[in-house]
Structures are given as C-alpha cells and as structure tokens.
C-alpha cells in the first residue's frame, strides 16, 4: 500500500529527543509531519520512581544552553525548570585515596593539589601562549592537542577522567577537532587558550545545569502530547530517492512518499536506511563505535555518612574496578531526587573497554557498584534500587571523526531534503541534540 502525507510533508525517523524536537519544530512551522518510532519514545530520557526516589535512567541533568532553555519556554515548560540549590556546587575527581575538587579553569588549577609546582609554571605559560593550540594535523587526539597548553600529566589525569565520565572514551583516542570545535577553530586563528576562553564567555556566558520538575521525562511527555497522532509506531526499513522526494518502506508494509526526511536514529541504525541514497555516508555512519553504559541507582540513608562538601559527584580515573566512571549525588543539589529517608546516588560504569560488564547479571553489578562506592567514600548501609543498561549509549568521536561529518554533509548536499540529526554529529548532550534539531528543521 502506498500513501503520501501531502505537500510539504516530512518524515522524521527516530523518536529520541532530537526526533521529537525536530518534529515539533516542523509542525510549528506549518509542515505536515509523521514521526516513525517503533520502540520507546524519548530515547535515553526516562524518569521513574523507585522506593520513594525519583530516578533518571538516562541523562541526569541538562546543560542550560540558550537553545534548550528557549525551547523549553516555547513548549510551555519554563516554569518547570529546576536549578541547583547549591549554585557553586563542586565536581570532584578521585586522586589516589580521596576526592579532590576539579579546578574550574586555569587559575583554580594553579592552587590545586592536582598539579605540581613545575606543572603549574608550565601551565601558566601554556594557557597564554598563542602558538600552543595551533593544529599540526587534520585532526589530533585530545591528548596531543591539549598537552602543549596544560601539560601531558594534567591532561592525562584530569581531562581524561572528566571526558571519560562524559564520553566514555580516553584522551588518546578522542578527537580534539570534534569534541572541541570552537577551541580547534581558535587554535587555527592563532588564539591562546585564555583568549578563546574570554571570547567564549562573552558570546555564551557560563551555562549551568538544570533538570525538570518531576524528572527530565517531562520534556518527552510534553512533546508527545503536542505531537499526538503525528507519532507512528512503525519502523522505517528503507529510504528510496524519488524525483521529487523519497519513498519510505515501513515495517507495517506501508510505502510512504514524502518530500523530506530527517533521520534521527543512531548511526548504526541510520546506515542501512541511507545506503541506497549515499553509500559513503552509510559506511561512515556505520563505522562509528559506541560505548556501553550501565547505570546503578543507590539509596543512601541519612545515617550512611557524609558526602563530599557541596559536591555533585566524583569522577574516577581509568583502571578502576568494573570500569567505574563516576558517581553523582543527585539529591544533594536537586532535592526532588531524594526521599524522606535519604539521598539518591547514581553510579555509572562501562565506557570504552568496559563492554564485559554487560555480561554480568543485574544483582552482581548492583552489589559491586554499591560496595565500590561504600569503600571509596566511607559510606555504609547503601541500598541499590535499580540497574539500567545502555549497550550502545555514547558515540565515540574518535580521531578522524571529521571524515564521518564530511560524508554526512556530502549526502545532504546531494539530497538537501535528506538530513541526519543523530548523536554522531553535533554533540552528544541533550542541549546539543535540541539545537541540532531546531537547525535542521529550518533546512529540510
């Protein structure tokens, strides 16, 4: 059976946050839209209640970048934003036997115990040097690119631990060009790190973190409500280019003609869909590896002990048991996540090299994560609440990732009404995905 949606119609493939936002943006611009999502709408964003605690199974907090904050206002959620009750909260990194505050900027690093005096002197020279950031190749690892600025050991110990907690990868493999495009561009323009930081502050300010009242799924639920019957519980199995658009084949046996397509699913799922349109883009998308993530939520009764002062969490360096990435003290700065009985902690494990943890059963993972945090932070009587597995959570922007982005851009030049907004391009955070969705909605 063949159908069409009418003039100006667009199909959005994938109902994660990017697909939902793009679909709503298109509808708000008067377009006729059909969003195809056979699974759980909302992707990794899932909030639930367990034993009196509010649990985020996916992103725990959202970065309050302007496009996201503006979007929340436009869908009527401005009044549901919650900010940290401790504005100057601290992030910690595990340093040998104890957590140490992560310095916020070079000035703080100068007084930190995480660097030696020799390293601090080199750091002061590096951050003001106009030549320290100049790219020496088409792409460089984060380790290669930032070491002339901060020093090799500081990058290895602080940047690696921090980025491992965010991207699940390591500084020797992650791409500086793709992770820090603004900084990469600044280096190409001959700016020092401090000149870039000043320029960035003037343009964007310093966004804080936020969450939604009742959980981040509130955003998903609102978009589902706004989109209504636009969302279709079918999978798209193929995209065939036509003279004036694209023919989609779906799992329901339907063929659907549309003028435009936005592919909002992960790269590994997008690759077979776009292969008939652009084999090179399909190959590039299929080549991007993803790191696994296992999330363990733990209840910490008031009698468990003291959490690090004003802390939001502790990040752990590579080499930790079970590939421990970090622990967040959710309710310490967002009280809605706790209960009358204690704090909520969220432990993250996995990342690149940590795939083996997926072979363990939930009870073993929960017990091991609980014991690790009890020993590291001198806590007691912790109670695991829930284990969530994301086998392919985080796309890896490895050195050379710009070639993947170039292949996608080449496909979009050849087919201007075929666009990709999966997390393999443009950043992995929710705020990044929302910004990319809005941008593409204006082009398709």
The structure tokens 């059963």 sit at 361
Express as a percent the part of the chain with pLDDT over 70: 98
Helices (H), 17-131: 17-28, 66-74, 106-110, 117-128
H helix or E strand, kind and range, residue 276: none
CB-based burial, 264-290: b 16+ in 10 Å, e otherwise: bbbbbbbbebbbebbeebbebbbbbeb
pLDDT, tens digit (0-9, with 9 covering 90-100), for 431-443: 999 999 999 999 9
2, pLDDT greater than 70: no
Tell me, yes or no, if the pTM score tops 0.85.
yes
- The mean of the pLDDT values for the chain is 93
| pLDDT at position 8 | 52
| pLDDT at position 287 | 97
Domain residue ranges of the chain, discontinuous segments joined by +: 2-44+214-288+397-441, 103-203, 290-395
72, pLDDT greater than 70: yes
Pair 13, 43: CB distance under 8 Å: no
51-55, 58-62, 207-211: range with lowest mean pLDDT: 207-211
Q: What is the largest CA-CA distance in the chain?
A: 72
| pLDDT at position 319 | 85
CATH architecture of 2-44+214-288+397-441: 3-Layer(bba) Sandwich (3.50)
What average pLDDT does the segment 183-199 reach?
93
pLDDT, tens digit (0-9, with 9 covering 90-100), for 355-377: 899 999 999 999 999 999 999 99
What average pLDDT does the segment 80-87 reach?
95
Q: What is the DSSP string of 374-435?
A: HHHHT--S-EEEEEEEEEEEEE--BTTTHHHHHHHHHHHHHSTTEEE-STTSS-SSHHHHHH
pLDDT category of residue 389 using cuts at 50, 70 and 90: very high
| pLDDT at position 204 | 76
| pLDDT at position 5 | 47
What average pLDDT does the segment 279-300 reach?
97
In terms of phi and psi (left: phi > 0; alpha: psi -120 to 50; beta: otherwise), the region of 186 is alpha
Cα distances (angstroms) measured from residue 270 to each of 248, 357, 386, 396: 13, 26, 31, 16
The DSSP secondary-structure symbol of 355 reads: G
What average pLDDT does the segment 339-363 reach?
94
Give the CATH superfamily of 290-395: Protoporphyrinogen oxidase, mitochondrial; domain 2 (3.90.660.20)
207, pLDDT greater than 80: no
How many angstroms separate the CA atoms of 387 and 370, rounded?
11
What average pLDDT does the segment 277-293 reach?
97
What average pLDDT does the segment 147-169 reach?
91
| pLDDT at position 3 | 52
| pLDDT at position 7 | 43
β strands within 140-289, DSSP E: 209-212, 231-232, 236-241, 246-250, 255-258, 260-263
How many angstroms separate the CA atoms of 343 and 111, rounded?
31
pLDDT, tens digit (0-9, with 9 covering 90-100), for 249-267: 999 888 899 999 999 999 9
pLDDT, tens digit (0-9, with 9 covering 90-100), for 310-336: 999 999 998 888 899 999 999 999 999
The DSSP secondary-structure symbol of 137 reads: S
How many angstroms separate the CA atoms of 16 and 271, rounded?
17
How many angstroms separate the CA atoms of 279 and 271, rounded?
8
pLDDT category of residue 6 using cuts at 50, 70 and 90: very low
Give the CATH superfamily of 103-203: protoporphyrinogen ix oxidase, domain 3 (1.10.3110.10)
């Amino acid at each position: 059976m063949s159908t069409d949606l009418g003039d100006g119609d667009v199909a959005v493939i994938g109902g994660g946050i990017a697909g939902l936002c793009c679909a709503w943006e298109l509808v708000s611009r008067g377009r006729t839209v059909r969003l195809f999502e056979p699974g759980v709408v909302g992707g990794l964003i899932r909030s639930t209640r367990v034993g009196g605690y509010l649990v985020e199974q996916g992103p725990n907090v959202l970065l309050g970048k302007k496009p996201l904050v503006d979007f929340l206002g436009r869908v009527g959620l401005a009044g549901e934003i919650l900010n940290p009750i401790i504005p100057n909260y601290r992030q910690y990194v595990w340093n040998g036997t104890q957590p140490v505050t992560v310095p916020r900027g070079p000035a703080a690093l100068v007084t930190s115990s995480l660097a030696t005096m020799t390293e601090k002197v080199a750091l002061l020279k590096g951050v003001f040097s106009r030549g320290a950031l100049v790219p020496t190749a088409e792409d460089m690892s984060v380790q290669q690119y930032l070491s002339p600025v901060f020093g090799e050991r500081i990058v290895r110990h602080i940047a690696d631990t921090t980025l491992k907690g965010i991207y699940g990868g390591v500084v020797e493999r992650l791409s500086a060009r793709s992770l820090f495009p603004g900084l990469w561009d600044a280096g190409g323009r001959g700016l020092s790190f401090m000149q870039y930081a000043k320029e960035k502050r003037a343009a964007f300010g310093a966004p804080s973190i936020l969450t939604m009242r009742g959980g981040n799924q509130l955003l998903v639920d609102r978009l589902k409500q706004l989109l209504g019957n636009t969302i279709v519980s079918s999978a798209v199995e193929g995209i065939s280019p036509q003279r004036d658009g694209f023919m989609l084949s779906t799992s329901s046996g339907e063929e659907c003609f549309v003028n435009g397509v936005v592919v909002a699913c992960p790269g590994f799922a997008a690759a077979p869909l776009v292969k008939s349109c652009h084999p090179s883009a399909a190959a590039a998308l299929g080549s991007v590896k993803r790191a696994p993530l296992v999330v363990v939520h733990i209840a910490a009764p008031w009698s468990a002990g003291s959490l690090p002062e004003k802390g939001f969490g502790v990040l752990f360096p590579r080499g930790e048991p079970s590939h421990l990435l970090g622990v967040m003290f959710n309710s310490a700065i967002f009280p809605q996540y706790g209960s009358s009985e204690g704090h909520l902690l969220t432990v993250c494990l996995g990342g690149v090299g940590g795939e083996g943890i997926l072979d363990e059963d939930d009870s073993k993972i929960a017990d091991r994560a609980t014991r690790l945090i009890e020993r590291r932070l001198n806590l007691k009587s912790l109670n695991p609440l829930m284990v969530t597995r994301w086998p392919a959570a985080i796309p890896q922007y490895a050195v050379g990732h710009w070639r993947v982005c170039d292949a996608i851009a080449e496909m979009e030049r050849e087919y201007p009404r075929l666009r990709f907004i999966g997390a393999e391009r443009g950043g992995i955070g929710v705020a990044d995905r929302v910004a990319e969705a809005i941008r593409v909605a204006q082009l398709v």
